[in-house]
C-alpha cells in the first residue's frame, strides 16, 4: 500500500518511519474496535511505541483488534503490560500456512509457524480474546491450522484467498519468473472446487468465517456475524 500510494518504493518499504504526529494524536472514544496496526506489524523494533499507543487509547475506553504475524516476545509483553485491559483487546493472529517453507517464501523474516502457534496459546492462556486469520490461505491445508488451534480461538477463524496477488507482486517489484509461477500455482490450487469442498467441511462450524473472496465463489448470502463491530484502522 505504501508503494501504491507513493510513500515508499520496492527498495525502501522495509524501513519503518515513526509518525510522531499519529503517536501523540488524541483519539476520542469510538464505536467498535480500532484495528491496529494497518500499515506495519508489531515487532521487537516498535513494541514499546505500540504498547504506549494502545494503552493511551484503552484508557479512553476504546477497544482494539491487534492484527499481527506474531512474535512471542511481543505477545508476552502485550499480555503482561496490558493485562488489565484483556476484555478490550482481541488478537487477530495471521497464519496462512502450517508449512515452514511456504511461510519462508511468501513471508520472509516473519515468525515461524511454531512461534505463531505458541503466541495463540499464550494469549489464550492469559485470558485475552483470540481470533485467527488464514487470509490469504497460502496452501490448500487450512484444516491443519484449524485442527491445531481451534480450541484456543475464542472468537473467529477467517478464511480467504490471496487478493490481487499478481498485481501486488508487480507493484512490489517482486514478479520474477519464480514468483509468477508460484503465484499462479497457488491461485489455481485454490480453485472453485476446493472452495466448495472447504465450505462443505466447515459451514456448520460457528467459528469459521468466510471473507469476500470466498463468498463471491460460493454465491451465498452468508449472514453477517452477530454482534460484530466495525473497525477503525490505525
pTM for this prediction: 0.91
Residue 231 has pLDDT above 90, yes or no: no
Do 77 and 49 contact (CB within 8 A), yes or no?
no
Report residue 176 as a C-alpha cell: 520474477
Report residue 217 as a C-alpha cell: 465463489
pLDDT bucket at 2, cuts 50 / 70 / 90: confident
Using CA atoms, how far apart are residues 143 and 208, in angstroms rounded to an integer?
11
* Residue 227 pLDDT: 40
- Give domain 30-217's CATH number out of 3.40.50.300, 3.80.30.30, 3.40.640.10, 3.40.30.10: 3.80.30.30
Return the residue matching grid coordinates 500499515: 39
* Residue 28 pLDDT: 82
Q: What is the mean pLDDT of residues 6-12?
A: 89
Residue 77 has pLDDT above 60, yes or no: yes
- Tens-place pLDDT, residues 120-153: 999 999 999 999 999 999 999 999 999 999 999 9
Average pLDDT, the chain: 92
pLDDT bucket at 201, cuts 50 / 70 / 90: very high
Using CA atoms, how far apart are residues 144 and 114, in angstroms rounded to an integer?
13
Of residues 22 and 11, more confidently modeled:
11
Q: Which segments within 118-175 are labelled E, that is strand?
A: 129-134, 157-159
Residue 215 has pLDDT above 50, yes or no: yes
Of residues 22 and 100, more confidently modeled:
100
Amino acid at each position: 500500500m505504501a508503494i501504491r500510494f507513493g510513500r515508499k518504493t520496492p527498495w525502501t518499504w522495509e524501513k519503518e518511519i515513526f509518525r510522531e504526529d499519529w503517536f501523540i494524536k488524541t483519539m476520542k472514544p469510538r464505536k467498535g474496535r480500532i484495528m491496529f496496526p494497518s500499515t506495519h506489524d508489531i515487532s521487537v523494533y516498535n513494541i514499546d511505541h505500540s504498547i504506549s499507543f494502545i494503552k493511551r487509547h484503552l484508557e479512553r475506553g476504546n477497544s482494539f483488534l491487534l492484527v499481527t504475524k506474531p512474535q512471542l516476545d511481543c505477545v508476552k509483553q502485550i499480555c503482561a503490560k496490558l493485562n488489565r485491559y484483556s476484555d478490550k483487546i482481541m488478537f487477530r493472529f495471521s497464519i496462512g500456512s502450517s508449512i515452514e517453507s511456504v511461510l519462508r517464501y511468501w513471508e520472509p523474516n516473519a515468525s515461524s509457524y511454531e512461534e505463531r502457534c505458541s503466541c495463540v496459546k499464550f494469549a489464550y492462556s492469559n485470558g485475552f480474546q483470540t481470533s485467527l486469520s488464514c487470509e490469504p490461505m497460502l496452501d490448500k491445508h487450512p484444516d491443519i491450522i484449524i485442527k491445531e488451534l481451534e480450541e484456543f480461538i475464542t472468537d473467529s477463524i477467517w478464511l480467504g484467498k490471496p487478493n490481487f496477488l499478481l498485481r501486488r507482486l508487480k507493484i512490489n517489484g517482486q514478479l520474477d519468473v519464480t514468483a509468477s509461477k508460484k503465484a499462479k500455482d497457488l491461485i489455481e490450487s485454490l480453485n472453485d472446487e476446493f472452495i466448495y469442498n472447504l465450505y462443505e467441511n466447515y459451514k456448520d462450524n460457528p467459528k469459521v468465517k468466510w471473507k469476500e473472496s470466498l463468498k463471491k465463489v460460493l454465491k451465498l448470502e452468508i449472514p453477517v456475524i452477530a454482534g460484530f463491530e466495525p473497525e477503525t484502522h490505525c
